Amino acid sequence: MTDQNDARDAAFDDPLWIRPNPSGLRPSLGEIGLQHFAPYLINNISLSWTTHLANALKAHDMTTTKMRALAILSISSPVTINELSLYALTEQSTMSRTLDSLEEQGLIVRRPRAEDLRVRDVDITPRGREAFGRVWPTMYDLLLKMFDGIDNDEYKAFTATLHKMILNIHRHGI
């Protein structure tokens, strides 16, 4: 199996695999292999992170969407519902329901913006900061486990690559 993986690794170094080819040739997914297909790997990581985090958040009586909202508000508050939905990678209808619940719990407040009453700003309350403060150690511990054996330079290179990918996604409308 190692020879097959080594051959696939060597083949992946060929620019044909990651750049457009003038002849229009494209490798098959089988030729690339799932273990070298970045979207598959990203989904694998994302699903694992989200699943483990959701399970850990249950002990704090919190959902992933509530945690995302509080996380964003803990570092950037106030924001509009639209901005919060965008940053939390959550549909606006889901975010609105989540904010209803967070407001009932006293973790956030929504206020009309003074200069435009149509816009509602969302702000975290001291109770909301405390609630996020209780889940942050769990999140951070999971992050440390996920990056176990990865040094600081590798982490910086990884996040720099992710930022380039995000720019490409926006640039190409993917």
Distances (CA, A) of 133 to 35, 42, 126, 127: 36, 27, 10, 10
Inform me whether the pLDDT recorded for 62 exceeds 70. yes
- pLDDT of res. 18: 65
- pLDDT of res. 121: 94
Q: Give 23's pLDDT tier (boundaries 50, 70, 90).
A: confident
Inform me whether the pLDDT recorded for 65 exceeds 80. yes
Sequence spans of domains, the chain: 1-36, 37-172
pTM for this prediction: 0.82
Inform me whether the pLDDT recorded for 153 exceeds 70. yes
Q: Give 154's pLDDT tier (boundaries 50, 70, 90).
A: very high
Q: What are phi and psi of 62, to 5 degrees?
A: -135, 140
pLDDT tens, 88-100?
Answer: 999 999 999 999 9
Please state, as a whole number, how many other Cβ atoms lie within 10 Å of the Cβ of residue 127.
13
**Looking at the domain covering 37-172, what would its CATH class be?**
mainly alpha
- pLDDT of res. 135: 96
- pLDDT of res. 118: 86
Please state, as a whole number, how many other Cβ atoms lie within 10 Å of the Cβ of residue 136.
14
Looking at every residue in the chain, the average pLDDT score rounds to 89
